[in-house]
Amino acid sequence: MKNPLNYVRPNILALAPYSTARDDFKGGDISVWLDANESPYNNGENRYPDPHQHQLKHHIAELKGVREEQIFVGGAGSDEAIDLVYRIFCRPGEDNVVAIAPSYGVYSVAAAINDVEFREVQLRNDYSLPVNRLLKATDPRTKVIWVCSPNNPTANAFPRADIARLAEAFDGIVVVDEAYIDFSERGSMLDVLDNYPNVIVLQTFSKAWGMASLRLGMAFAAEEIAEIFARVKYPYNVNGPTQQRVIEHIVNDDISEHVAEIKREREALAEALRGMPMVKEVYPSDANFLLVKFDNPDATYDYLVANGVIVRNRSKLIACEGCLRITVGTPAENARVVELLKEYQQ
């Protein structure tokens, strides 16, 4: 069994985290709080939030079927966890990471910010995962392999067995970004964390849960790694109102109907698009969006924007030439897209 702490930078292992007086508070009847230089006037927001998000992690653990000790909660969606991966495992100016391409752009941006070499390995022509080429792209200074599954922008999820092969063969950290996992039939890697301690799984409340405005993401990992995340993060990285709102959504919301409708609408929208002469291909999707190849993507994009519909133009990406990425909206929004495209082709 791999020891994930072997991959952590020595200075991070030695780091003494910032601590508050409340970290040492173990209970008792405290009615006067004079430790943190806060305002004493209660307006509902005058106290610092729980820096460890204990209550929130309890609800997330129940929701996801993991232990609280395996959870890191980030206050900038998944992007905070992405940045922490670089800071924890990669020495600036020395180490490198390997990632699939095309994929989520923040991986490369965070690499540049942290002065870490970013190596891209193109997906196969059918967008499947090139496990052997990913492994061949590594060297002794490769600390992380990034895999987004379902992948953005190609929309496909990769077989769990392929990701497991990477984790078994690679002497480093494999990060699996599952932002769109709720829309996929492939299944999450959360249930294999105890078998693969070098795997970190990222998820978010921004997509299926409809909390993009709250900017809350999660990393799930071996307990030792989750503890390192907690040590390196800034003390109050998730504000109090966000913690409370997310708990309320977890307790009160049932997203199953919305997810089911998005899946139905995804297939209906794909079918409608396949019947249009301007559409060259609609790629299979495990996410809440479609990657669609058009004869003239730029003109189609401009036409949609001019008529009040914005999609994402991905036609300049290698392997996505000619493609627009279309998020699956409400039935009325999807019908509007189909209506506009039918009018445009006439």
Q: Residue 149's beta-bridge partner residues?
A: none
Q: What φ, ψ does residue 147 adopt, rounded to 5°?
A: -135, 115
Report the pLDDT averaged over residues 16-23.
78
Report the pLDDT averaged over residues 284-308.
97
28 versus 111: the higher-pLDDT residue is 111
In whole angstroms, give the CA distance from residue 197 to residue 180. Answer: 22
Report the pLDDT averaged over residues 209-221.
96
For residue 57, give both structure tokens: 């992690």
Element holding 294 (H helix, E strand) = strand 289-294
pLDDT in tens, 127-179: 999 999 999 999 999 999 999 999 999 999 999 999 999 999 999 999 999 99
Confidence check: pLDDT of 345 > 80: no
Q: Where are the beta strands (DSSP E) in 205-278?
A: 217-220
Report the pLDDT averaged over residues 328-334.
98
The predicted structure's pLDDT at residue 106: 97
Confidence check: pLDDT of 27 > 70: no
Report the pLDDT averaged over residues 72-86.
94
The predicted structure's pLDDT at residue 305: 98
The average confidence (pLDDT) of the chain is 95
pLDDT in tens, 245-294: 999 999 999 999 999 999 999 999 999 999 999 999 999 999 999 999 99
Quick one: what percent of the chain has pLDDT higher than 90?
Answer: 91
Report the pLDDT averaged over residues 229-256.
95
Cα four-point dihedral sign 305, 277, 283, 269: positive
Element holding 191 (H helix, E strand) = none
Report the pLDDT averaged over residues 313-329.
97
β-pairing verdict for 142-148 and 217-220: unpaired
Confidence check: pLDDT of 28 > 90: no
For residue 176, give both structure tokens: 């699996």
In whole angstroms, give the CA distance from residue 52 to residue 38. Answer: 18
The predicted structure's pLDDT at residue 26: 65
Burial of residue 202 (number of CB atoms within 10 Å: 0-12, 13-18, 19+) = buried
- Count how many Cα atoms sit within 13 Å of the Cα of residue 34 in the half-sphere of its side chain: 2
Q: Quick one: DSSP state of residue 184? A: -
16 falls in which pLDDT band (50, 70, 90)? confident
